Amino acid sequence: MKQIGNKSFIQLIGLMVGLLALITALVGVIGLVLFLAYSGVRLDVASPDDSQVLAAASVPAPKVTALEDPVGMWKAPDWKSVDAEPNADEIKYGRELIANTAAYLGPNGSVRKISNGLNCQNCHLNAGTAPLGNNYGAVAATYPKIRARSGQSEDIPKRINDCFERSLNGKPLERNSTEMKAMVAYMEWLGKDVPKGEKPKGAGIYAVPLLDRAADPVRGKTVYENQCQSCHQADGQGIAKPDGSGYTYPPLWGDHSYNSGAGLYRLSRFAGYVRANMPLGATYENPLISDEDAWDVAAYVNSLERPSKDLAGDWPDISKKPMDHPFGPYSDGFSEEQHKYGPFKPIVEAKASGQ
């Protein structure tokens, strides 16, 4: 008993000493603030000259780099839960086709030879499940829909074939083929929890803030050399897998890349994809390049040669062309050059004001 009493007495003393120290510190801080205030030292804005001193004196605040708040981001259903579905095998085949498209449908495809060797997954990361990695989170809930590019109602197979004919510079897949049905089944399963008509947060591609200037291919070349070339190579042709079933690093321009009708040929799509996902390893939570670098490297890559597609049937209503559709005619007075590289703000503003 006595021992216990002694112990709590010592604890009490300790507590009091601690409190005293705290009060002393507080008084000190208040005193210092008062002193600084009265002695005319500016506490409000740190001038550029002060910043070095401040940086050295204080612990740096954690850098906020995430492009969007992760709260509420769309997530794919748990892959293991797919076995509970009556068409589990079809869904699994669909995912396999998205991930390894070239092996089945590429230039040496085992099922059909209808596309250029890219995998859907090269652009729709993690089989179309990565937040802001051009995922398929919105597909089941938002198709069929009227698309201004075709001026028609498009269902999922039509949209998939858009990517075959443009992003994979190939031929369309038969609508009633096993492969088409499997890919549709996979996308419907991915989006099964998204309410009809809704585009979930993090679906698709990140919208990079617009620059006040045109994107600069010359500056973009330097970005490319420093940040991209190690994988995609100096000639932009990437590195093919030795067995011919696609690429370790996919090509970014030239004969084997996406054609001039593809989504990535629009600067905002390319910049948004890259800003949140490249160099490999970047995510929207940990992006690795700046807005400017993303726009400029997009300008560099899309200034180089690639297959062209006849786009005569696109955009039957030219006033619906997006700001960065790089081919005229347009309903506004801006040039093809400006629609390709920007500056985009004047185009967006003119449209908003109904010109």
Per-residue exposure over 103-119, b if at least 16 CB sit within 10 Å of its own CB, e if not: bbbbeebeeeebbbbbb
Return residues touching ligand HEC (CB under 6 A). Answer: 98, 101, 118-125, 134, 136, 138-139, 159-160, 163-164, 167-168, 183, 204-205, 227-228, 230-232, 249-252, 258, 262-264, 269, 273-274, 278-280, 289, 297
Q: Rounded to the nearest whole angstrom, what is the least distance from the CB of residue 30 to ligand HEC in the complex?
A: 50
Q: Rounded to the nearest whole angstrom, what is the least distance from the CB of residue 339 to ligand HEC in the complex?
A: 16
- Residue 125 or 333: which CB sits closer to ligand HEC? 125
Interacting residues of 245 by C-beta distance below 8 A, sequence separation 6+: 100, 102, 103, 106, 108
Q: Rounded to the nearest whole angstrom, what is the least distance from the CB of residue 145 to ligand HEC in the complex?
A: 8
- Residue 99 or 214: which CB sits closer to ligand HEC? 99
- Residue 164 or 334: which CB sits closer to ligand HEC? 164
Q: Rounded to the nearest whole angstrom, what is the least distance from the CB of residue 82 to ligand HEC in the complex?
A: 18
- Residue 202 or 251: which CB sits closer to ligand HEC? 251
Q: Rounded to the nearest whole angstrom, what is the least distance from the CB of residue 134 to ligand HEC in the complex?
A: 6
Q: Rounded to the nearest whole angstrom, what is the least distance from the CB of residue 337 to ligand HEC in the complex?
A: 21
Q: Rounded to the nearest whole angstrom, what is the least distance from the CB of residue 54 to ligand HEC in the complex?
A: 33
- Residue 50 or 155: which CB sits closer to ligand HEC? 155
CA pair distance 310, 112, nearest whole angstrom: 23
- Residue 295 or 330: which CB sits closer to ligand HEC? 295
- Residue 273 or 344: which CB sits closer to ligand HEC? 273
